Amino acid sequence: MVAPTPERLRLQGLSNEEAIMQDTTLVGIDLGKHSFHLHGQSSSGKQTLRKKVTRKQLIEFFVKAQACTVVMEACAGAHCMARTLAAFGHTVKLISPQFVRPFVKTNKNDFVDAEAICEAAVRPAMRFVTPKTEAQQTLSALHRVRESLVQDRVKTVNQIHGFLLEFGISLPVGKAVIKRLPVVLSEHSLPPRLVAILERLHAHFKYLSEQTAEVDKEMARQLTEDDLGQRLMTIPGVGPVTASLLSAEMGDGKQYGGSRDFAASIGLVPRQYSTGGRANLLGISKRGNKTIRRLLVQCARSYMQRLDKQTGRLAEWVRTMLTRRHSSVVACALANKFARTAWALATRHTVFEPGSPTMPT
């Protein structure tokens, strides 16, 4: 059966915009801060829509439009927009920006980007990003705030160490000695203005430490209400920070085909450079979310430091690996296992058991 054309639909008494949307099955949106560029296609791939709208006009447009598939890049504001449009009955898909870039045909502009989003969306092997809930976005924001506070605290500590070293005072490495900085200042004769600067930095350090502690408490409160986060904490070495971040970023894990897909998405699998039928595996790819990857590696190192107290199949596997490989290689391999285990716990609604297989599929 031949699909009705916009001309035929207009003859049936529909407006021009209604006729266009009747024929449009796929809409790509190039997201912006104030303006949005739309590119629509019919089921045959023919362009049916090319429009620039404001945020208010975008909402009004999709409220009136018939249900269709809407595709956007997974960037700032995409998750909120996805939830809004899904509430109107549309099917919303998000694509990672690096998968859209190869489909940009000519010089880059907003309409070309919207068209490229549509082209990428119709690929049968395309991977999509699951829109986050408000709770997941809030938890992600909390983690970003915590990371920023920790970075500022490290910067402040380094400044204090550097300023004191300029005047011949060498303190032990770390932030623990900063807590007794007033005692250190009283033991040395320093210029009054420098002392004032160091006292100001010390007050800033205490403020950052207090704010970090408050964020940790808020994170712990949210984690008590998160079933997945509680189950993730049963993995040895995984604490509240890692569990809450995994819960926020991974969700139910159904967007991944398997545990290895999740481990690959955060860069914990070998980077491959193979050609001519000869396999060549390099170090880990370091793709995806570097914060999750860093935390999982830290969890692995924490587990390895207490290996003498660990039991079960996982502990035996780590001991065997340490006899053959460098500890850094074993730490990355163990982090890969933790990522795969986290995916299994999320999808199977179970908890970690020390005697269970260490390589979920």
* CATH number of residue 16's parent domain: 3.30.420.40
Same domain, 321 and 343: yes
Residues 138 and 239 in one domain: no
* Number of structural domains found in the chain: 3
Q: What angle in degrees, to the nearest 10, is found between the helix axes of 240-250 and 327-348?
A: 60
Contact indicator for 332, 321 with CB cutoff of 8 Å:
no
Place of tokens 């995806």: 288
* Same domain assignment for residues 234 and 214: no
Tell me, yes or no, whether 258 and 208 share the same domain. no
pLDDT at position 359: 45
In a domain, 312, yes or no: yes
Tell me whether residue 359 is in a domain: no
Query: H or E segment at 284?
Result: strand 281-284
pLDDT of 189 reads 82
Whether 344 is covered by a domain: the verdict is yes
CA distance 291 to 138: 17
d(CA 292, CA 295): 5
Angle of helix 327-348 relative to helix 313-322, nearest 10 degrees?
160
β-bridge mates for residue 72, sequence order? 29, 94
Strands (E), 6-124: 26-30, 35-41, 47-54, 69-73, 91-95
Query: 199 is in which domain, residue-wise?
Result: 134-224
Q: Which of 61, 95, 121 is the last residue of a domain?
A: 121
For the chain, list residues with pLDDT below 50: 1-3, 6, 8-14, 358-361
- Here the tokens at position 327 are 């500890």
Contacts of 177 (CB under 8 A, 6+ apart): 171, 184
263 assigned to some structural domain: yes
**Residue 233 and residue 217 in one domain:** no
Are residues 198 and 267 located together in one domain of the fold?
Answer: no
Instruction: Check whether residue 239 and residue 320 sit in a common domain.
Output: yes
Number of residues assigned to the chain: 361
- Do 218 and 231 share a domain, yes or no? no
Instruction: Please check whether residue 73 lies inside any domain of the structure.
Output: yes
Given 172, 206, 224, the domain boundary residue is 224
CA distance 131 to 74: 8
User: Are both 233 and 333 inside the same structural domain?
Assistant: yes
Residue 361 lies in a domain: no
Same domain, 102 and 141: no
358 domain-assigned? no
Please tell me the predicted confidence (pLDDT) of residue 18: 59
Q: What's the confidence (pLDDT) of residue 44? A: 83
Residue with tokens 């609604």: 349
State both tokens at 189.
């004769």
27 three-state secondary structure: strand
Residues 6+ apart with CB under 8 A from 162: none
Which SS3 state, helix, strand or coil, does residue 93 take? strand
Report angle CA 55, 59, 60 to the nearest 5 degrees.
115
Rg (CA), the chain: 27
Identify the CA nearest to 159 among candidates 129, 210, 202, 208.
202
Out of 165, 192, 224, a domain closes at: 224
Q: What is the per-residue pLDDT for 228?
A: 86
For residue 14, the model assigns a pLDDT of 46
Query: Do the domain assignments include residue 155?
Result: yes
Same domain, 79 and 165: no
